[in-house]
Amino acid sequence: MYITSTRKNINHGDIIRYMPRKLRSFFYSADLSDAREIRLRLGMPVCIYFGDGQYYISKNNNLTRIPTSAVRVTREDIEEAMELAAASSVYSVKNEIKNGFITLRGGHRAGITGSAVVKMGEIDFIKEISAINYRIAGEVIGAADGVIGDITGGGLKNTLIISPPAAGKTTMLRDIARQLSYMGVRVSIVDERREIAAMYEGRSPFDLGFNTDVLQGADKAEGMQMVLRSMAPQVIITDEIGTDADIRAIQKVTNSGAAVIASIHGQNLKMINRRADLRDMLSYFNLVITLSNRLGAGTVEEIIRL
């Protein structure tokens, strides 16, 4: 027995605390309830992305479509924003910075661009930060209502969610985890990019149910095998698979009796089928769900049983 609704659970206060102090007063008076992203670009106007387009913050604390009258971001703002995002501890988020983002309290993420420092052929750090993109996390309780029956009907299905970027696949995975967990299924989330659970100091800001364990920051392939051995999950949920190692790990997990629910970037099943490496991967899945943005993020286009 579980209860779902379509309530959006977003705390914008969490994101404002990461804004540079000079800019914070502008945000307090703006209505951010439908905001998806806030971008700070050096020398450019502060930009907020809503569902219906982008707005700027004017010097009179109003949202405006006119960039010329907007508040601009200075070098000090970017430096302060970085200090706040890293909790004054860049050394502790160095690995995240290497990947181009920092996970913030509340499940939000600060994407970073600047000059990459390359060591031994790999990005070691990003310095001279020029832009920060705050992606505001949204938890949609009930996002998986339309698919949960297909996933659980007749036993847990190995499920692949195909979705283009920003079409709601992570939100969908999160709600699947929550619903399965409340059904009493032991769920393990392998959250390599810290997007699904967005744990901060050991806690997720999202409702993931009572039966959900999260391993975050670990390589997906390695992490799936780790949780399989350590947490005895009935289902492993992970995001954005695609490498050979991921596919081998999925093979091992499915052969071990646990189910896998994973997402992958793509438009539809046909597109995945065109790639030989991914075509083989499909043999490990029983169910494919395709998402799009057609009627808003999280639109379920197809549910295909394989």
Q: Given the rule CB under 8 A, which residues bind another protein?
A: 80, 83, 86-92, 94, 125
CB of 78 to another protein, least distance (A): 13
Residue 68 or 89 with smaller CB distance to another protein: 89
Q: Which strand (E) or helix (H) includes residue 274? A: helix 269-274
- Identify which of 199, 73, 250 has the alpha carbon closest to the alpha carbon of residue 82: 73
Is the CB of residue 265 less than 8 Å from the CB of residue 239? no
Is the CB of residue 147 less than 8 Å from the CB of residue 303? yes
CB of 91 to another protein, least distance (A): 4
H-helix segments, 17-100 = 21-28, 75-85, 94-98
CB of 60 to another protein, least distance (A): 27
CB of 112 to another protein, least distance (A): 14
Q: How far is the C-alpha of 82 from the C-alpha of 19, rounded, in Å?
A: 9
Residue 86 or 281 with smaller CB distance to another protein: 86
CB of 134 to another protein, least distance (A): 17
Residue 33 or 89 with smaller CB distance to another protein: 89
Residue 107 or 266 with smaller CB distance to another protein: 107
Sheet containing strand 259-265, strands side by side: 212-216, 187-191, 235-238, 259-265, 159-163, 287-292, 299-305
Cα torsion 234, 239, 244, 248 to 10°: value is 0
CB of 104 to another protein, least distance (A): 13
Cα torsion 253, 257, 258, 263 to 10°: value is 60
Residue 84 or 300 with smaller CB distance to another protein: 84
Q: How far is the C-alpha of 282 from the C-alpha of 285, rounded, in Å?
A: 5
What is the Cβ-side half-sphere exposure of residue 40, based on CA atoms within 13 angstroms?
A: 27
Token digits of residue 184: 């009493």
Residue 87 or 131 with smaller CB distance to another protein: 87
Residue 104 or 187 with smaller CB distance to another protein: 104
CB of 130 to another protein, least distance (A): 16
How far from 212 is each of 1, 18, 21, 142, 190, CA to CA, in Å?
A: 16, 28, 37, 17, 11
Query: What single letter denotes the amino acid at residue 169?
Result: K
Token digits of residue 54: 């982008």
Residue 83 or 219 with smaller CB distance to another protein: 83
CB of 217 to another protein, least distance (A): 12
Quote the crossing angle between the two packed helices 220-231 and 244-255, to the nearest 10°.
Answer: 20
